[in-house]
């Protein structure tokens, strides 16, 4: 798939790529050939809808530099495309019918900005470094739900 399509998506300045297949959530930086690259697509895996094969909980360690956020929990995403340059992406983690946003980022497609990198070199980026569970009942429920889901998941795919 990569050989077939990556150059074309980069050439035509595709902004975002969504895939499934892997039963977990993951978001990359703007990436081309596994290097964070301005103007390249951001890749998001959203294969965490909830099928019977369970969650995919094994990750390549250490986390590659291009992988900004990854977590094996059930959920879905919401992409609000605000205007020609900005879009808000929110990954919702299932939390027993309480809407809970665990990864929340503003994409900016204006050419001079924003790799959506993680790490302290980019302190102003709206990037979540690891799951943030707010100190509320909602956050605690999300955490409990996630632990429960992981306990019951079978590592097959």
Partner 1 sequence: MLGFGLFFFFQVVSGAVEQIALNYDSSFNNMVVNFAVPETKINTAECRYGNDPDNLVNTAVANGVTYTLKGKTSPMLFKATMTGLTPGNNIYYYSVGSKDFGYSEVFSFKSHPGNAPNTTFFLVGDIGQTTNSEETLNELIEAESMLATPSAGIVNAGDLSYANGRDSYWDTFGNMKQIAASHLPMMTTLGNHEWLDDLQFSFTAYLNRFDTPLVNGKRELYYSYNAGLVHWVMVAGYCSEMRLSSTQPCLAPDSPQFAWLENDLATVDRDVTPWVVVVFHQPYVNSNTAHDMKSEGLFSRYPLSLFDSPPL
Residue 128 CB, nearest approach to partner 1 (Å): 16
Residue 143 DSSP one-character state: H
Using CB under 8 A as the binding rule, whether residue 152 contacts partner 1 is answered as yes
Q: Which is nearer to partner 1, 76 or 122 (CB)?
A: 76
Using CB under 8 A as the binding rule, whether residue 105 contacts partner 1 is answered as no
Residue 87 CB, nearest approach to partner 1 (Å): 7
Alpha carbon separation from 84 to 20, 81, 131 (Å, rounded): 26, 8, 29
In this structure, the dihedral spanned by the alpha carbons of residues 32, 106, 124 and 34, taken in order and rounded to 10 degrees, is -10
| Neighbouring-strand partners of residue 71 | 25
Using CB under 8 A as the binding rule, whether residue 114 contacts partner 1 is answered as no
The per-residue DSSP string of 103-128 comes to EEEEEE-STTS-----STT-TTS---
Using CB under 8 A as the binding rule, whether residue 85 contacts partner 1 is answered as yes
Which member of 38, 43, 104, 136 binds partner 1 (CB under 8 A)? 43
Using CB under 8 A as the binding rule, whether residue 102 contacts partner 1 is answered as no
Using CB under 8 A as the binding rule, whether residue 141 contacts partner 1 is answered as no
Q: Are 42 and 28 in contact (CB under 8 A)?
A: yes
Which member of 19, 113, 126, 136 binds partner 1 (CB under 8 A)? 19
């Amino acid at each position: 798939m990569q050989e077939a399509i990556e150059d074309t998506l980069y050439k035509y300045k595709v902004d975002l790529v969504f895939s499934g297949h892997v039963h977990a959530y993951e978001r990359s930086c703007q990436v081309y050939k596994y290097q964070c690259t301005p103007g390249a697509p951001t890749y998001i895996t959203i294969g965490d809808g909830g099928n019977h094969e369970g969650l995919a909980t094994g990750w390549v360690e250490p986390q590659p530099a291009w992988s900004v956020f990854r977590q094996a929990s059930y959920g879905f995403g919401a992409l609000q495309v605000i205007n020609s340059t900005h879009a808000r992406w929110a990954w919702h983690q299932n939390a027993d019918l309480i809407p809970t946003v665990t990864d929340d980022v503003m994409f900016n497609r204006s050419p001079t900005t924003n790799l959506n990198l993680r790490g302290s070199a980019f302190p102003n980026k709206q990037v979540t470094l690891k799951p943030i569970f707010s100190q509320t009942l909602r956050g605690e429920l999300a955490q409990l739900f996630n632990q429960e889901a992981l306990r019951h998941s079978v590592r097959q795919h």
